[in-house]
Chains A and B, each alone.
Chain A
Amino acid sequence: MPLRTVLDSSDISRAIKRISHEILEANSGSEDLVLLGIPTRGVELAERIDVSLAEIDPGYVSNLGVLDITMYRDDSLDAEREIHPTQIPTSGIDDKVVVLIDDVLYSGRTVRSALDALIDIGRPRQVKLAVLVDRGHRELPIRPDFVGKNLPTSAAERVNVMLANTDGSDQVVIEQ
């Protein structure tokens, strides 16, 4: 199966830094920001964006969490899936600007589930979406606010995001 590397380690670091800058710009600073990573790769991405935000903005207060969407999937009964912990920062999400963070945006169904999960927890003032890769093929009216890389793909291809802490190294590859 031919593999093609589309983002290497330095591309990913640059993308994370750029997304961080864009988040601060769109929010006019870091006030009320809550970062929620979607398991599994979204969690590590959120951690790295959190570190990057702290480097850029000395006044940044970290509100980092995890939002598991297993029980909210629209295909949840097709297969048994591992349930991950959901961790919401103690300050909550009410009236905050929540940035959902995931590795790949594809059909949009994961994000739809995440929005449902979010609404059961509280009422954010705004919800934004950051993804490392947008590969197109949306099935729902959902669009990202912050994108690391737009990657036009065919539906037959597989996009694999690998991150240092989860997979040992940083890269994005396409399997054909």
Chain B
Amino acid sequence: MKHLTSIRELDTGSAIAILDNADELGAVNSREVKKLPALRGKTVVNLFYENSTRTRISFEIAAKRLSADVINFAAATSSVSKGESLKDTAQTLEALGADAIVIRHPMSGAAQTLATKGWISGSVVNAGDGSHEHPTQALLDALTIRQIKKSGNDLAGIKVLIVGDIQHSRVARSNVLLLSLLGAEVTLAGPETLLPKTFAAMGCKISHSFEEALAEKPDVVMMLRVQRERMQGTFFPSEREYAAKWSLSGERFKMLGNQTIILHPGPMNRGFEISNEAADDPRSAVLTQVRNGLSVRMAVLYKLMAGEG
């Protein structure tokens, strides 16, 4: 496997193998010497056409933990602002010695284009493309659920509720694919305007009432960030009305079971889609998600860059 642009490139076995490797690689983060020499001499470029702090830093630390050199390329401060194309930028980076490109791009399909057009010979990792996919986020969510629920290899029978702006969410798309692949039962909940019916075809249940969805006693509640930057036009009447119906407020938070896990891909809009009470509760696994993000990205970089030598 050379690229990871979509969860569709994984089968159950390879997804579980990545999670298993991530579990082992995570152990290095608690050691005094937090470094493994596996990717020594390799160069990883973070090519980010969108603002991101946590994903970029996570990929950067992951690559450095494996002893790769890392170059951060923020498009806004580069020749891209002078009109350079993705092809030229990528080929320039490869000419400078990049063995893998981690790309985040506002256009859906950008990572796949880079991986399949034959412009470059290195590996491509999708770190989020428009509202299409964010595969490493789904992998870290799956790892977090698997660890906390101690569900063995896969997520068979675990009920996951994903709430909020589904339509614009690459996190939701990747998660629906991966969690289903691992045997979880996924329900999506959100307002009609942000939850297109087409998602039913991906094999998950759809709900337009947060309360009804919570009454089903989900094992995991994943709150999504409202992606204002991807919204052209109006999807809900006001922020206040959205929050009233779709926030994990104090009231709804009380409906959760004792063992229900709260996930959020971050950054959280506290008081909007999630209350302080929920975000700071011991059932919130937000920081575990961040830690697992590092392990999963180490596992993905290792998987893609091994076997190509």
Contact = CB atoms under 8 A, between A and B. Distances in A.
Contacts of B31: 120-121
A83 B21 contact: yes
B27 A71 contact: no
Given A77-B38, A120-B31, A120-B33, A83 B24 contact: yes
A76 B17 CA distance: 17
Q: Which secondary structure dominates where chain A touches chain B? A: loop
B280 interface: no
Nearest to A87: B27
Given A83-B25, A120-B35, A71 B307 contact: no
B33 A77 contact: no
Nearest to B35: A120
Interface in A94-135: 116, 120-121
B303 interface: yes
A59 B99 CA distance: 53
B309 interface: yes
Interface residues of B, number: 23
A77 B36 contact: no
A80 interface: yes
B239 interface: no
Contacts, number: 55
Contact of A71 (B17, B33, B38, B309): B38
B142 interface: no
Interface of A: 68, 70-73, 75-86, 116, 120-121
A80 B306 contact: yes
20 contacts: A71-B66, A72-B36, A72-B38, A73-B38, A75-B309, A76-B37, A76-B38, A77-B39, A80-B302, A80-B303, A80-B307, A81-B306, A82-B20, A83-B20, A83-B25, A85-B24, A85-B27, A86-B27, A121-B31, A121-B33
Interface of B: 1, 17, 20-21, 24-25, 27, 31, 33, 35-39, 42, 66, 302-303, 305-309
A80 B21 CA distance: 11
B143 to A, nearest CB: 14
A76 B39 CA distance: 8
Contacts of B66: 71
Nearest to A79: B307
B305 A71 contact: no
Contacts of B35: 120
A73 B36 CA distance: 10
B39 A68 contact: no
B11 to A, nearest CB: 15
A83 B18 CA distance: 10
Contact of B37 (A83, A85, A116): A116
Given A86-B27, A120-B31, A121-B31, A78 B21 contact: no
